[in-house]
Amino acid sequence: MPGMRVLVVEDDEGIAHGLELALRHEGWAADTVPGVEAAWSALTVEPFDIVLLDLGLADGDGAQVLQRLRRAPPGRLPDPATPVLIMTARDQVASRIAGLDMGADDYVTKPFDAGELAARIRALRRRAAGRAQPELLWGELAIDPAARRVTRAGKAVELSSREFGVLMALMEARPRVLSRQQIEASLYNWESLLDSNAIEVHVHHLRRKLGDGVIRTLRGVGYFVPAEPAP
Ligand code: CA
């Protein structure tokens, strides 16, 4: 499910790097912070779709982040509804139980399997979006986020991973309008530099491949996908 932005809270540089690679391989944007305070700062300034939270951090217990997050007032950042996946060692059953009871949505054990981690993140994201079925349907379009496959009236549509990310961001937000910056933020890391025309170019290609009715422009504001296709 590209278009997703993940905060990795992990103090072990090797593990953090492995997680970043696994997440980017899925086409997701990953930002990594090493501790409790840095995690809180990140959550306060940016919205994240998922938090991967190590419980044993150098400057404290990751559970502190979880507890503070779940107690935060709704309607502003940090968003207390942000899905959280905790990471523990295989033998740390007690801390997994405590974490789940404290409001974590799921867990993975280290060493993690990249495929399982990605599947758990997709499942969390589906639940957060309020849908149980893995495929997203919109008119003649069927989008399979796990396989990153799009069909239109049953025919495969070939999209680049960035195009797929733009489409997923707009589909998941529909019918809300997303600005270019919001689309970029869901695709790229903080440190990445991006040609300011890139989103327009991706949208142009998507329209050519999917037809004109899917992605609409709200002039001067951004792009959106209508809640339902035009009849
Ligand atoms: Ca650790």
Task: Report the C-alpha gap between 126 and 131 in whole angstroms.
Answer: 5
Please state the separation of Cα 164 from the chain's center in Å: 13
Listed residues: CB within 5 A of ion ligand 1? 11, 54, 56
Q: How far is the CA of 113 from the centre of ligand 1 (A)?
A: 17
- Least confident piece of the model among 30-39, 71-80, 179-188: 179-188
H/E run at residue 184: helix 180-187
Q: How far is the CA of 12 from the centre of ligand 1 (A)?
A: 6
Q: How far is the CA of 219 from the centre of ligand 1 (A)?
A: 47
Domain boundaries, the chain: 5-129, 136-224
Fold observed for domain 136-224: Arc Repressor Mutant, subunit A (1.10.10)
**Tokens in use for 34?**
């090493």
- Predicted confidence at residue 14, as pLDDT, reads 94
Residue 229 pairs with which residues in a beta bridge?
none
Q: How far is the CA of 58 from the centre of ligand 1 (A)?
A: 7
Q: Which residues contact 122 (CB under 8 A, 6 or more apart)?
A: 1, 134, 145, 146
Average pLDDT over residues 79-103: 91
Q: pLDDT grade, residue 189 (50/70/90)?
A: low
Q: Which residues contact 50 (CB under 8 A, 6 or more apart)?
A: 4, 5, 6, 7, 82, 83, 84, 85, 121, 124, 125
Predicted structure pTM score: 0.68
Q: How far is the CA of 189 from the centre of ligand 1 (A)?
A: 23
Q: How far is the CA of 71 from the centre of ligand 1 (A)?
A: 23
Q: Is the pLDDT confidence value at 180 over 70?
A: yes
* Omega cis (within 30) before 78: yes
Same fold, 5-129 and 136-224: no
Q: pLDDT grade, residue 131 (50/70/90)?
A: low
CATH number for the segment(s) 5-129: 3.40.50.2300
Q: How far is the CA of 193 from the centre of ligand 1 (A)?
A: 30
Q: How far is the CA of 8 from the centre of ligand 1 (A)?
A: 12
Share of the chain above pLDDT 70, in %: 94
Q: How far is the CA of 2 from the centre of ligand 1 (A)?
A: 27
- Predicted confidence at residue 188, as pLDDT, reads 63
